[in-house]
Structure 1
Amino acid sequence: MPFEIFKQQFGELTEYIIQEASTGNRCVIVPELGGIVRQLSLRKNLTLFSVLKTPPTPHGLVQDAKSASELLFPFASRIPDGKYRFLGKPYQLAKNETGGLNAIHGLVRKKNFHLEEQSVHADYASLKLSFTLNETEGYPFEVHFSVEYTLHADGRFTLHYEARNNDSQPCPVMFGWHPYFQIGDEMADAWKVSIPSNEIVTFDSNQIPTGKEPFYLEKPTLLYRKAFDNCFIVAPESGNAVTELISENQNVTLRISQETGEGKFNFLVLYTPPARDCVAIEPLTANVDSFNSGDGLNILAPGQTISGTITVNLA
């Protein structure tokens, strides 16, 4: 069979591998560590590219504070001082950012996800994981969160998330994915990036939004000597927005597509780490600090579900 799913030990962690035998395309998933994708390898012609940068050891993965490949739910990025108001009521989240200033990146990081389903077919294989939030500090809502990873025969990797409000009251939700992408052994300064936006979020010194302004940059633009730690507004009309990382030396383009439209991934964070050996490209369903601003925030009624899809492929 061209696709298979198997599990193996990675130190004390158990990981699941979705693999296509004919191409070597594979993704490696760690349910007990926040359901993250530890590795994603995709082939173009004769070359198999490992496109995700994550800590290389089990200990490094467990201790990672940079959120490599993590699922950010029910909020992404920062909430200042961990405080927000929802339907007139104040809430206090744990201030878990380094330095203790803010709440950051949600409540499911490094949690033990439940393996709900695995499926192998002739042209794709998928793995579905879930975690239920219930009476969590600062977020007293019961929400069932799931993510389905799929590897397709045409070389696409998809991440499909879904959140269902199992509570008796409305709840705020936001989702983001936090992958660091790489292309071979090249440094980021050799790549070009094409950002699907003409509007950027302005931040204060605490990386909290203060407004928006026009964004003008050549598409694509060379990353050489450019540093990003920014949030962009993505036009939702197209139904799909694509960020491209381009290596002309290797003749390959990494495409990160995010579903846009009402309630979908209409925001995007781009970050170039100081080591400049990767680029974080983070599709978001709402703006930074949306729990306070409401900008893009999804509010789920009891029993309501929200979902969306991110796709990664090589061109």
Structure 2
Amino acid sequence: MAFEIIKQKFGELTEYVLQESESGNRCVIIPELGGIVRQLSLRKGLTLFSVIKTPPTPLSLQEDTKSASELLFPFASRIPDGQYTFLGKKYQLSKNETGRRNAIHGLVRKHPFKLEEQIVHPDFASIKLSFHLDNTEGYPFQVRFFVTYKLSADGKFTVSYSAINEGHEPCPVMFGWHPYFMLGNEDVDAWKIDIPSSQIVKFDDNMIPQGVAPFNEQLPMLLYKNELDNCFIINTESAAVTTRLISDNQHVTLNIEQETGEGKFNYLVLYTPPTRDCIAIEPLTGNVDAFNNGEGLNILAKGHTVDGTITVHLS
């Protein structure tokens, strides 16, 4: 098995391709556009599946408003009116959600990340990126954010993040990843999904949490004519849980595993866009509006770090 990392142009953008020659497994990363994963291809048997959907051209990718594959930090999902209170102080974020009045999906989207490290090993290839938040509008804290993408010989792709408080005061942090997954050319209606949760978050008309309800659907759940835009709570004593996206027609299952436990990925957002050719499966470390409700919010003291890992593979 031979791994390599190739640097190449995608329009005016520069991207890095991590790939393994024998299997054809590959991922494509764009550091200067929020450090996103533009492509991810994984093999099962004779078939190489493209499993992440992003806009197809450099311009459409730069102009994308649907957060395809974006890293969501220091908060994910919505903060109503962009306002939150932390340790008795009120803060105002920019209200950037299209058609609504909320702040959404953090402060690192579409910003250039710094390339920290590239590793090519007989058993894997990896790339590490960073972004420094320093007294950003509405978030007057100093936090260094890292993400490492790793493609391994066992066919697994991992997204590992960490964040360290480099300031003098405690700061709130939350992380999420926003990929749209697909399986070949099938539509969402051909798939089933196994959701590792028995509790669903109730939303108001502004998609802000208003409590919790039991989630009693029979699993795996058919996605046929089923529209999802929901957040689920992960309650488990295990170190990780897996969301499974199942195509019976193609005899393949996409597994998205998220670390669980204190400070880890204990929430999950699922969304089926109107195109119904993909599904967003978004592991989160906190609930929607965690900056206000505190549910899953990590509070970092000076010099402290938080981290977690998401793993994607086919079976």
Q: C-alpha separation between the residues in 2 aligned to 1:310 and 1:177?
A: 9
CA shift, 1:237, in A, is: 1.1
SS at 1:32's partner residue? coil
Give the match for residue 277 of structure 1.
277
**Distance in 2 between the 1:236 and 1:168 partners?**
34
What's 1:307 paired with?
307
- How far off its partner does 1:236 sit? 3.5
Return the alpha-carbon distance in structure 1 between the equivalents of residues 208 and 134 of structure 2.
Answer: 27
**CA deviation map 1:185-222 (0-9, x unaligned):** 00000000000000000000000000001101111111
Superposed displacement of residue 100, structure 1: 4.8
Aligned to 2:213: 213
Mapped contact 1:55–1:61 kept (Cα < 8 A): yes
CA distance in 2, matches of 1:213, 1:11: 46
Identity %: 70
2:30 aligned partner = 30
Distance 1:100 1:76 in 2: 16
Q: Give the conservation status (yes or no) of the 8 Å contact 1:147–1:159.
A: yes
Distance 2:218 2:164 in 1: 40
- The residue number in structure 1 matching 2:102 is 102
Aligned partners of 1:102 and 1:190: how far apart in 2?
34
Structure 1, gaps ≥5 residues long = none
User: What count of residue pairs does the alignment treat as equivalent?
Assistant: 315
Match of 2:224 in 1: 224
1:66 is matched with 66
Which structure 2 residues correspond to residues 22-171 of structure 1 after superposition, within 5 A? Answer: 22-171=22-171
Q: Which amino acid aligns with 1:248?
A: D
Residues 29-51 of structure 1 show CA distances to partners (whole Å, capped at 9, x for unaligned) of 00000000000000001100000
Residue 14 of structure 1 aligns with which residue?
14
Give the letter aligned to residue 67 of structure 1.
Answer: S
Distance (Å, rounded) in 2 between the aligned partners of 1:159 and 1:46: 25
**Alpha-carbon distance between aligned partners in 2 of 1:297 and 1:226, rounded to the nearest angstrom:** 30
Mapped partners of 1:123, 1:282: distance in 2: 27
Name the SS for the 1:238 alignment partner: coil
Residue by residue over 1:249-271, the C-alpha shift from the partner in whole angstroms, topping out at 9 and shown as x without a partner, is: 00000000000000000000000
Separation (CA, whole Å) in 2 of partners of 1:169 and 1:46 = 53
- In the alignment, residue 166 of structure 1 is paired with which amino acid? E
Is residue 292 of structure 1 aligned with residue 284 of structure 2? no
Instruction: Output the amino acid matched with 2:277.
Output: D
| 8 Å Cα contact 1:143-1:163 kept in structure 2 | yes
Cα displacement (A) at 1:299: 0.1
Contact kept in structure 2, 1:13 and 1:32, CA below 8 Å: yes
Tell me which amino acid in the other structure corresponds to 1:163.
A
Match of 1:264? 264
SS of residue paired to 2:136: coil
CA distance in 1, matches of 2:278, 2:233: 22
Q: For the residues of structure 2 that align with 1:212 and 1:224, how far apart are their CA atoms?
A: 25
Match in the other structure for 1:244:
244
Structure 2 unaligned regions, length at least 5: none
1:99 deviates by: 2.4
Structure 1 vs Structure 2 CA RMSD: 0.6
1:129 positional shift:
0.3
Contact 1:236–1:262 (8 Å) recurs in 2: no
Tell me which residue corresponds to 2:234. 234
> Runs of 4+ in structure 1 displaced over 3 angstroms?
none
Q: Cα deviations across residues 161-197 of structure 1 (Å, max 9, x unaligned)?
A: 0000000000000000000000000000000000000
In the alignment, the residues of structure 2 paired with residue 218 and residue 242 of structure 1 have an alpha-carbon distance, to the nearest angstrom, of 16
Aligned mates of 1:158, 1:272 — CA distance in 2: 23
**CA–CA distance in 1 between the matches of 2:260 and 2:236?**
5
Report deviation, 1:238: 1.1
1-structure distance, mates of 2:102, 2:223: 30
